[in-house]
Amino acid sequence: MKKAIQLFFIFIGSLAFSQDHEEIKSTIISNDSIYTQADIPGEYPGGINAFRTAFTKVFNFNPNSKGKVSSVVSFVVSDQGQIEDIVATGENKKMNKEMEKAIKKLSNVLWKPAEINGKPVKFRFRLPISMEFHN
């Protein structure tokens, strides 16, 4: 009987902790803020695959050695859909520079801006790129 009572309280206790809680969104949107998470992320016309295709067409990098190179390019898509603040980081400075050039070449295309609470916001995109070269 003691075990039955213990099991009963364990069962009741687990029900109390398994209640769903409704999350209340209360995001204050600032015109100066740059977000990394949004209700609806920004989008290149045609989607991410169209962006990758366009990036591949304008990216021109020819390393002098073989091996793997990695960089991360980040940029802000403004609340108007324009590309701003392009920065590439990684060990290979030449690749970083070429990645920044490629994104600048694509900056004439307006993105659909990210949205929070139905309002367009500035959003920082990060695009990691790794390539392996064989001579």
Name beta bridge partners: 34.
122
Q: How far apart are CA 132 and CA 53, in angstroms?
A: 18
**Total-model pTM:** 0.72
pLDDT of residue 60: 83
Closest CA to 79 of 26, 38, 131: 38
Range from 2-11, 22-31, 50-59, 108-117 carrying the lowest mean pLDDT: 2-11
When the pLDDT of each residue in the chain is averaged and rounded to a whole number, the result is 81
Minimal CA–CA distance to 122: which of 113, 130, 131? 113
pLDDT at 43: 93
pLDDT at 21: 47
Confidence of residue 30 (pLDDT cuts 50, 70, 90): low
**Is 47-133 CATH 2.60.40?**
no
* Better pLDDT: 49 or 69: 49
The pLDDT score that the predictor gives to residue 10 is 55
**What mean pLDDT do residues 5-11 have?**
51
